[in-house]
A and B are shown apart, each in its own frame.
Chain A
């Protein structure tokens, strides 16, 4: 299976080739990790500014208000508010979650977990990071131009995002940044797909891959297919904005021929719905593995979980229309999208049952990666189930574009992915950096994240059901929404609290990097391939390419005579 690509490359010797323009997947993974954590901080800060404004309209932002918004006496002005939520969404999705879950874990875990020495295309991998870097630079730059950054929402629907609604260069730069990011994502995706297909260690069938790799692989497939669609959409938008075409213009403003603004919504959501699964699949994979590792028993129905994730990936491409019920598509389309959306329940229910089946009768170790994984099961349960309210057309007529939607997608995309990402960081940190993270601080971080997080997002479900709509600068000019002020206060307080506990994580990260306890080769006692080699792994990962003889979840076998309760994948399966 290795096809000759798996040779040992000489180790780089200069600073530039070793740390900056490195071809090594492990270094690129770390670059993506720092990049993602940086943007997570920026996006998180923006979230706090948004929350402050919603709970205290017209009140100056404490501490940083006078520096950032000196023109308005420290108060977030309405146009800046629109920029903040647009940039918060864009940054969190494309520049925080994608780099951490896909860029960092994808790069780090795929080659190590399938027993490869690097990605299939190391140069492409390096370019993928630097294109992402360029894209991030363009996006950040757009914050500092005269008319400010894009402010039409992360969905940037025309005609608001055309010159009619957004005359400044910010929206064009947004499109350029997203397009460059698309190039980066596509490069990464092609690389991951090829790597998984061609570089699996001898003996490793698809169902011998850890579920983490399954999740990342499916994500990469969806990315390779659908990110180019978004690329096409933003190119058309750039043409409309810069070259005077009218793909998305209609009505009074379409003076030179009429296009259709709804066309963009179709293009956007053909990409946008798979994107939701692009973000969550790696987290699902990680959680499926970690639940098994820390319950000390095989993943329950691992094959069914892998196949459920596959069928969800396929279904995700067929349901995008449920984002557009209020545009009044044809009744047949509405009915079809509603029905198809509902079928996603079946695979979801199956892997939820498998997750619970995995911890059932286990011998559970509540280390921090496990706590975060269990947290994912909880928050994804809430997020997934509230999706049912939105998938049915009639309730969506009320709930669409309210905070109920915001609460729902934050539970699925933000909370689950964030917790899954933290689980991954705590789990692979020892392998990545050769040191352990502080377990006590990690547990403080878990509870300090988990509890306020539910305050935030459940609060959002409540205010949305109460009738509060999205993306409004001051909800309380509506008298009917004034009764929701206390809930908005609760959300904001929770958000500040959650933000504070992320500082514990940052402290733990830095302190562990510098002076954490040295990690052994296999601190968690699991059998997947990356734990058979030193922490951190040498430049070429494997001196000898391992030969895989059993699955990734061989834990708790009563017939093991090795004194361990788990088997490495390189060991012949002991029959129970």
Chain B
């Protein structure tokens, strides 16, 4: 019945896709995933051909006398070693190379605010909430004009956003399925991640690391604005922050000095 429901409702293929891609870098991960999937499917089909084919061809009924061999003849050893080498060269070496290139050239190439336009955001995770901090008009973190939001992250399109993250109580993990990125937030450490998104809209941010009973509720909204809308929001938020931020409010006192 469930099978039927699956088939009828949305078309099978809808269950075979990742969340919508909204960033300039997610395709690297999708491409590598697809490449890996194609390769492993190929090898899995070979295994299945062997498994089912041999089971069919060499059943007791069809093949009365087994072939007496230890598989240690020269040609057998060559075939086995060849399979090992081909698998390693065709999949492993390739995906390691691609992943390493992507890391070095993209994911670990953190934007430099001295040479390009970067939106900096500090993220603090706690049971069970995400807090985000923008530097405000003075461009300094940990000052009274910072804009602080809870469970509500707003970023512009086509701008590199650099996050510095930490956690207050237990380990959490900042997971944005639509940009295919995840980074742990760890008490006592600052971890980093950057992205550039290109599709305005509303998306989910989740905590991916088990962090207690209400782990499943630790969800934040990600709003991707056009640059114009973002600037409008930032301006009005700065104004609100300037008027309402209370220096005595302990809940706002978590920002730290930004170091790159």
Contacts and interface: CB of A to CB of B under 8 A. Distances in A.
Q: A and B from one assembly? A: yes
Residue from the set B92, B98, B211, B214 with the largest chain A CB neighbour count within 10 Å:
B92
Interface residues of A, number: 106
Interface in B85-124: 85, 87-88, 91-93, 95-96, 98-100, 102-104, 107-108
A331 B71 contact: no
Interface string A508-528: 000000000000000000000
Interface in A531-576: 555-558, 576
Given A295-B66, A374-B51, A394-B99, A326 B183 contact: yes
A383 to B, nearest CB: 11
Interface stretch (A31-39, A246-254, A277-285): A246-254
Residue from the set B36, B77, B96, B216 with the largest chain A CB neighbour count within 10 Å:
B216
Nearest to B56: A364
Contact of A347 (B84, B189, B208): B84
B184 interface: yes
Interface in A342-372: 342-343, 345-347, 349-350, 352-354, 356-366
A363 B66 contact: yes
B33 A398 contact: yes
A439 interface: no
B100 A338 contact: yes
A358 to B, nearest CB: 8
Interface in B202-220: 203-204, 206, 208-217, 219
Contact of A462 (B15, B32, B60, B65): B15
A400 to B, nearest CB: 6
Interface string A293-319: 001111111111000000000000000
Contacts of A334: 103
A462 B16 contact: yes
B102 A363 contact: no
Contacts of B33: 389, 395, 398, 465
Contacts of B19: 466-467, 480
B184 A328 contact: yes
A327 B188 CA distance: 12
A454 to B, nearest CB: 12
Contact of A250 (B95, B182, B188): B188
A484 B19 CA distance: 11
Contacts of B206: 469, 478
B177 interface: yes
A490 B2 contact: yes
B167 interface: yes
A516 to B, nearest CB: 24
B9 A486 contact: yes
B248 interface: no
Given A326-B173, A353-B83, A342 B184 contact: no
Contact of B169 (A159, A302, A364, A470): A159
B213 A326 contact: no
A11 interface: no
Interface in B198-242: 203-204, 206, 208-217, 219
B204 A397 contact: no
Contact of A360 (B28, B50, B167): B50
B72 A303 contact: yes
Contacts of A165: 127, 169-170, 211-212
Interface in B25-43: 28-29, 32-33, 36-37, 39-40, 43
Contacts of B98: 392, 394
A262 interface: yes
Interface string A328-340: 1001001100110
A357 B76 contact: yes
B188 A362 contact: no
Interface in B167-196: 167-171, 173, 175, 177-178, 180-184, 186-189, 191-192
B182 A356 contact: no
Contacts of B178: 480
A362 B84 contact: no
Contacts of A345: 84, 87-88, 91-92
A326 B44 CA distance: 28
Contacts of B180: 397-398
Nearest to B33: A395
A483 B204 contact: no
A563 B147 CA distance: 87
Contacts of B18: 398, 465-467
Contact of A304 (B37, B55, B80): B80
Given A82-B213, A300-B69, A489-B5, 11 more contacts: A79-B213, A82-B210, A299-B71, A359-B50, A361-B63, A363-B66, A385-B43, A394-B28, A462-B15, A486-B2, A490-B2
30 contacts: A82-B215, A160-B170, A164-B170, A251-B188, A254-B188, A260-B188, A261-B188, A298-B70, A301-B76, A331-B103, A331-B108, A335-B100, A359-B51, A361-B69, A363-B58, A363-B64, A363-B65, A381-B44, A385-B44, A386-B40, A388-B39, A388-B95, A394-B99, A401-B208, A465-B18, A465-B33, A469-B206, A472-B215, A489-B5, A555-B66
Interface of A: 78-79, 82, 151-153, 157-160, 164-165, 249-254, 258, 260-262, 295-304, 326-328, 331, 334-335, 338-339, 342-343, 345-347, 349-350, 352-354, 356-366, 374, 377-378, 381-382, 385-386, 388-389, 392-395, 397-398, 400-402, 462, 465-467, 469-475, 477-480, 483-484, 486-487, 489-490, 493, 555-558, 576
Give the 6 A-B CB pairs with smallest separation, nearest first: A250-B188, A251-B187, A300-B71, A467-B177, A361-B67, A472-B216
